[in-house]
A and B are shown apart, each in its own frame.
Chain A
């Protein structure tokens, strides 16, 4: 059995560590690129969103490299995602890969134990103790990656030589991927965070703060959002994102089952405008706008084209009393970098002018 799975940001690193420790053959497909996208687009129904198309591209590339069991996130009650594993399996069969099995993994449905059970099946009944230790190192890597990313988001906006933080970040990701035990991991993590903090900063910089919210996949996969966070960093903007995969895993696998809901505050904020969960991340998008209106200078709302929950959120957002400039960027295979850059520059200009006006009023 050779396992493959779609990419989403750096999530391949913890999964690679997990499966390597369990001696499962894990096929690492190329990081999402133009070919992945065009493969996905060619074989998908046209009305589907970019997460489907890109993950299908990833799965096809993994299959080409010899994977025969593919893992695909799934679940009941979250927009169209529940259907993806089944449809993608059908598409792969129609392409002539007849022995491919696509396993839908419902994170919020199976909970921690269900997930561990799936891993146990995939690893040929490895002993529980090994599964749990492998799972733990995966989680530690995930946490380390996200901690470093948080620092990078801050540094990018104020660094003197643009691109220094990114270079270090790439090195850190590689080092975390290669680290094999907790000690090295800890050392890599603190080492790179220190290095990042020592990057020369522009002393006069007063970065604008822009929140970034929207659909799960396009937020976390830089290829699908054309690396919007990096581009904002280049424009001298500090990006704030609530959603990190490590935080999400912590809550959906451990804390939610104990009755702790990290989103309760956001949902409460959204309540006057949207009374119920509409699937996907629509409720959270509205809530975050309301919650952070005072705190941020602007908000970027990322959504895949034809995403149902985000369209509802996009329609509701302008009507909130809490006013903050929102730029909605729809991501699909037609989105181009130049178009997006122009819109980002205009948006940042607008935010700067607003801040200046606010400043002048004060004195």
Chain B
């Protein structure tokens, strides 16, 4: 059976159930790289120039860990998933960049996703990808329909059950991981509601953000993430802040930020990677909005030099500030 490798990085968190269904329907086996570790990160960063952003380095590390473990590696080049949007160059150049910096990698399966070019081009691209497994166009069609359904189910699961992507993927795969215990068994009231905004590949990669979500939960805070919002909520919040979204991944930052700032989160934490092009503008928009609404906002920039102690100190200070603000409000 053909083995397809999927790196556990970047768009994995958004589309993994869809990709898995697609390839399995076509009779391939899917191999996912293990979670990020320090070795993955440092091997990934050793291959590229220093200015490359952290998520890309992590991604390349995952590709390296898949070398010799699969026959193909699936790396899509996603330009747009909505009309008139555009994606960061690093996503577009990802297949070519991987080929250039990891010459020993297995052959790369790439697919151009660009809805601006019209449905026909999109279907052609999917068929071209499926043709590597079967000559039968109807089988490719069946696989894509099943994949799309899997994607819809996945989004439903995220939105309705307030699960994080790794939890939802675990539930779909039916392999419940060891859920780190929080104190939620005890009936202690929640201290505050904290919203975290940013791209899924930063929020849910526990190695690079030092288990931020877990830490917040452990401190008895309710954590809100962009995936918990419906598409309509995200879109209307984006429209309020910037008009029409211009980036493919804009809604999870600007939309979620705009929504949570307004819907009464006690504080918002924005997570960006150092040198992230789109984020440098989008986080700025959210930060400006937070300033006018006087909601506490903290911007955390991650790179491979980020240290655990630094993150913890900043997090504690931020939480203390929010608690004090809340107490004051209650007293008055």
* Interface window among B86-94, B156-164, B194-202, B218-226: B86-94
Known contacts: A82-B86, A276-B112, A279-B86. The answer to whether A330 contacts B51 by CB under 8 A is yes
Check B97–A48 contact: CB distance below 8 A: no
A297-333 interface mask toward B, CB cutoff 8 Å, 1 = contact, 0 = none?
A: 0000000011111011011101100000000101000
A86-B242, A94-B288 known; A45+B280 contact, CB < 8 A: yes
Which residues of A, 259-318, contact B by the 8 Å Cβ criterion? 273-280, 282, 305-309, 311-312, 314-316, 318
A45 touches B284 (CB 8 A): yes
Is there an interface contact between B86 and A311, defined as CB atoms closer than 8 Å?
Answer: no
Instruction: Say yes or no: B86 contacts A308, CB within 8 Å.
Output: no
Contacting pair A278 B242 (CB below 8 A):
no
Q: CB within 8 Å of A: which of B284-327? A: 284-285, 288
Contact B278 A80 (CB under 8 A): yes
> Beyond A87-B284, A311-B90, A316-B96: 18 further Cβ-contacts under 8 Å?
A47-B276, A77-B86, A80-B278, A82-B86, A87-B285, A90-B288, A273-B96, A278-B89, A279-B86, A279-B89, A308-B89, A311-B49, A312-B89, A312-B97, A314-B51, A315-B52, A315-B97, A319-B101
Q: Mark B100-143, 1 if CB is under 8 A from A, else 0.
A: 11010000001010000000000000000000000000000000
Please determine whether B246 and A83 come into contact, CB atoms closer than 8 angstroms.
yes
Q: Which 7 pairs, one residue from A and one from B, show the smallest C-beta to C-beta distance?
A: A47-B280, A312-B93, A319-B100, A308-B89, A45-B284, A308-B277, A309-B89
Instruction: Indicate the size class of the contact surface on chain A.
Output: 35 or more
Choose from A87, A273, A280 the contact partner of B281 (Cβ within 8 Å): A87
A316 to B86, CA, bound (A): 21
Q: Does A76 contact B (CB under 8 A)?
A: yes
Q: Which of B166-206 contact A (CB under 8 A)?
A: none
User: What is the CB-to-nearest-CB distance from B58 to chain A, in angstroms, rounded to a whole number?
Assistant: 15
* B interface bracket (residues with beta carbon within 8 Å of A): 35 or more
Chain A contacts of B34 at CB under 8 A?
Answer: none
Pair A48/B280 contact, Cβ less than 8 Å:
yes
Nearest chain A residue, comparing its CB with the CB of B116: A77
Q: Shortest beta-carbon distance, A286 to chain B, in Å?
A: 9
Per the bound structure, the CA–CA distance linking A312 and B276 in Å amounts to: 13
A109 CB to closest chain B CB (Å) equals 11
Cβ-defined contact, B93 with A306, below 8 A: no
Asked whether any CB of chain A lies closer than 8 Å to the CB of B84, the reply is yes
A315-B48, A315-B100 as given contacts; A79 in contact with B93, CB under 8 Å:
no
Q: Shortest beta-carbon distance, B35 to chain A, in Å?
A: 25
Q: Please give me the residue from chain B that is nearest to A282 by CB atom.
A: B89
Are A47 and B279 in contact, with the CB atoms below 8 A? yes
Whole-angstrom CA separation of A82 from B85 in the bound complex: 11
Given A76-B86, A315-B100: A278 and B288 interface contact (C-beta under 8 Å): no
Kindly list chain A residues whose C-beta atoms are within 8 Å of the C-beta of B79: 276
Query: Is A282 a contact of B93 with CB atoms below 8 Å?
Result: yes
Per-position binary interface string of chain A over residues 87-117, scored 1 when its CB falls under 8 Å from any chain B CB and 0 otherwise: 1001000100000000000000000000000
Q: Which of A77, A87, A315 counts the most chain B CB atoms within 10 A?
A: A315
Are the CB atoms of B280 and A278 closer together than 8 Å?
no
Set of chain A residues within 8 Å of B103, measured between Cβ atoms:
319
Minimal Cβ-Cβ distance residue in A for B274: A47
Q: Count A-B contacts at CB 8 Å.
A: 103
Residue of A nearest to B98 (CB): A315
* B30 CB–A CB distance under 8 Å: no
A86 nearest CB neighbor, chain B only = B242
A289 to chain B, nearest CB (A): 12
A59-96 contact mask (Cβ, 8 Å, vs B): 1 or 0:
00000000000000000110110110011001000100
Q: What separation, in Å, do the CA atoms of A79 and B88 have in the docked complex?
A: 7
The docked-state distance in angstroms from the alpha carbon of A273 to that of B280 is 28
- By a CB distance below 8 angstroms, the chain A residues around B96 are 273-276, 312, 316
A and B contact pairs by CB, cutoff 8 A, 13 listed: A47-B272, A48-B280, A80-B278, A80-B280, A86-B242, A87-B284, A90-B288, A94-B288, A273-B100, A306-B280, A307-B277, A315-B49, A316-B97
Identify the closest chain B residue to A314 (Cβ): B49
Residue of chain A at shortest CB distance from B243? A86
Interchain CA distance A83-B85 in the complex, whole Å = 12
- Give the residue among B86, B97, B279 with the most A Cβ atoms within 10 A: B97
In the complex, chain A residues whose CB is within 8 Å of the CB of B86: 76-77, 82, 279
Q: How far is the CA of A305 from the CA of B49 in the complex (A)?
A: 12
- The docked-state distance in angstroms from the alpha carbon of A154 to that of B99 is 38
Q: Are A315 and B284 touching (Cβ within 8 A)? A: no
B275 beta carbon closer than 8 Å to chain A: yes
CB distance from B320 to the nearest CB of A (A): 25
Distance in angstroms between the alpha carbons of A76 and B244 in the assembled complex? 12
Shortest distance between the CB of B111 and any CB in chain A (Å): 11
Closest to B276 in A: A47
Is the CB of B268 closer than 8 A to any CB of chain A?
A: no
Closest approach, in angstroms, between the C-beta of A87 and any C-beta of chain B? 6
Residue of A nearest to B94 (CB): A312
Residues of chain A with a CB closer than 8 A to B279's CB: 47
Distance from A142 Cβ to chain B, minimum over Cβ atoms (Å): 29
Q: Determine the distance from Cα of A95 to Cα of B69 in the docked complex, in whole angstroms.
A: 56
Q: Please tell me if the beta carbons of A279 and B100 are within 8 angstroms of each other in the complex.
A: no
Complex alpha-carbon distance, A273 and B98, angstroms: 11
B77 on the interface (CB 8 Å rule)? yes
In the complex, what distance in Å separates the CA atom of A315 from the CA atom of B280?
A: 21
Contact among A86, A94, A277 with B92 in the assembled complex (CB-CB below 8 Å): A277
Q: Which A residues are CB-close (under 8 A) to B246?
A: 76, 82-83
Contact call B92/A278, Cβ cutoff below 8 A: yes
Q: What is the 8 Å Cβ interface bit string for chain A, positions 195-216, against chain B (1 contact, 0 not)?
A: 0000000000000000000000
CB distance from B54 to the nearest CB of A (A): 13
B89 close to A280 (CB less than 8 A):
yes
Inter-chain contact B52/A306, CB cutoff 8 Å: no
Do A80 and B277 touch across chains, with their CB atoms under 8 A apart? Answer: yes
Partner of B95, one of A45, A80, A275, A307: A275
Residues of B within 8 A of A282 (CB): 89, 93
